Amino acid sequence: MQTVKMVVTGPFNSGKTEFIKSVSEIDVVSTERKISSEAERVKETTTVAMDFGRITVDDELVLYLFGTPGQKRFDFMWEILSEGMLGFIVMVDSARPETFREARGILQTFRAYAPTPYVVAANKQDMEDSWEIEDLRIALKLDGRVKMLPCVATKRDTVKNVLLELLYSILEEMGEKKK
Amino acid sequence: MALKGNLRDFSVVQIFNLVNLAHKTGTLTLEGPNVAAWVSFREGKLIHAQLGNEDGTLLGVLTKSSKVRPEQSKLIKKHAADKSDKELGLLLINAGYLSQQDILASIQHYVLEVVYRLFSWIDGFFRFDNDVLPPDDHITIRLDLENVIIEGSRRIKEVEALADEIPNLDMALTFVERPGANIRNVHLNTMEWKVVSYINPKNSIRQIARANKMSEVEIRKIVYALLEAGLVEVVRPEGMPLPSQAASFKPVDEKQRATLVNRLIDRIRSL
């Protein structure tokens, strides 16, 4: 049995756990806890260690999706999680510009850990205050070549699209694209 | 949809950078602790700025810049109170008091002074309204934002914020491959040119600082200005070893990897 891993990262409350839940065939193994910090009390719980979902391809291949912890004090987990990943997804909450700087920092950190392909998912595009994709690209200082994809983490189709685009990027990097 | 947010999270320099790169047309409203300001742009160029209740009329600007003496200002107010800025400007040019260049230079100076003051605002709200512009009777200018951003960044004093923006001096810099970005068109000072001359994926930011005998704060200020102007980007230095965990990753054979990825694609498509 071969297992491969993709990492879903991004700032606190960007929608990583929801993203994995939307496509995982198992209940996401989550380690959410009540939030203790007032500053981070945007939602009731957050992922404190890591959570993961699973997609079985066939008898010989399984894909695991790992979500990184949302709060800054668990940064030390990132390097461990990035080990051996096929690629990674950076989730950005399109409606919270106060998190864009942090998202950029996380992206740069992961790129430094492992130079694997990645895509950026502009999550919560269904919200009234969400920034448009091209405005987000500039705010995040993303090169035009980086794939920036609209996403609503609770909608499976948009999550599938993000995962597929990451896989296409991996193939493109290998010079063998299948579409 | 209006862009809006908090300056603590998205700085004035970053907003200007966005306006510049997206070639936006419209007016940015900034609400500081005690005063508001309005900055207008046309296709990514700075055209107008107004701070609170300050006298930003042509007469006020010319008086501030000493192109018009206070007694002359009183006389003009008395005889041309009903004139718009454009009409007054024409009147002054036709009467031979001032040249068009004098007027535009004074307005440019005033607009830049307003804008540079705004760069120090770190608290407050912002909103960008697309296609909202100053009334037609205002005299507007047309300034490239790259130089404004660089000068504004020079004035940023918050060292902590700089360290936040550029946390790792062991990374390298490379020039951005973007149409329209040309370092030759940007006005850099001597120190900035010295840094630019060392930009290469082989040199870390720390090495560039050492070569130029600069402190961490000095190099961060310059790198920040270049980053915000969209001229360079941070990259991993060539030859920099990977962290131990990442280095232990054994890549799958290329042929096997492609097959594996294609199987994943088929599976996810079927979900």
Domain segments of chain A as ranges: 2-174
Interface of B with A in 245-264 (CB under 8 A): 245-246, 248-249, 254, 257-258, 260-264
Contact A114, A85 (CB under 8 A): yes
Residue corresponding to tokens 């063998």: A176
Q: Is residue B15 predicted with pLDDT exceeding 60?
A: yes
At A164 the pLDDT is 97
At B68 the pLDDT is 86
- By C-alpha distance, the chain A residue nearest B246 is A83
Q: A122 or B75, which is more confident?
A: A122
Q: Where are the domains of chain B?
A: 3-147, 157-235
At B267 the pLDDT is 94
Instruction: List, for residues B78-115, the tens digit of each pLDDT value.
Output: 887 788 898 889 888 888 888 999 999 999 999 998 99
**Percent of chain B whose predicted confidence (pLDDT) is above 70:** 86
Q: Is residue B54 predicted with pLDDT exceeding 90?
A: no
Say yes or no: B161 contacts chain A, CB-CB below 8 A.
no
Chains A and B form CB pairs within 8 A to the count of: 114
Chain B nearest CA to A63, separation (Å)? 8
Binary contact (B261, A163; C-beta < 8 A): no
> Quick one: fold of B157-235?
Arc Repressor Mutant, subunit A (1.10.10)
Instruction: List, for residues A116-139, the tens digit of each pLDDT value.
Output: 899 999 999 999 999 999 999 999
- pLDDT band of residue A41 (cuts 50, 70, 90) is very low
Q: B10 or B122, which is more confident?
A: B10
Average pLDDT of chain A is 82
CA dihedral B128, B36, B17, B205 (to 10 degrees): -150
Say yes or no: B131 contacts chain A, CB-CB below 8 A.
no
- pLDDT band of residue B145 (cuts 50, 70, 90) is very high
Helix (H, G, I), strand (E, B) or coil at A148: strand
Report d(CA B186, CA B188) in Å as an integer: 6
Cβ-in-10-Å burial (0-12, 13-18, 19+) of B25 comes to middle
Q: Which of A46, A6, A54, A11 shows the shortest CA–CA distance to A29?
A: A54
**Percent of chain B whose predicted confidence (pLDDT) is above 90:** 33
Chain A nearest CA to B179, separation (Å)? 11
Kindly list the residues from chain A whose CB atom is less than 8 angstroms away from the CB atom of residue B233.
Answer: 141, 143
> Quick one: fold of A2-174?
Rossmann fold (3.40.50)
Chain B nearest CA to A108, separation (Å)? 8
- By C-alpha distance, the chain A residue nearest B3 is A131
Binary contact (B263, A57; C-beta < 8 A): yes
Q: Which of A114, A121, A96, A115 shows the shortest CA–CA distance to A20?
A: A121
Say yes or no: B270 contacts chain A, CB-CB below 8 A.
no
Report d(CA B235, CA A143) in Å as an integer: 12
Report d(CA A39, CA B113) in Å as an integer: 36
Contact A129, B237 (CB under 8 A): no
**Maximum distance among all Cα pairs of chain A, rounded to whole angstroms:** 48
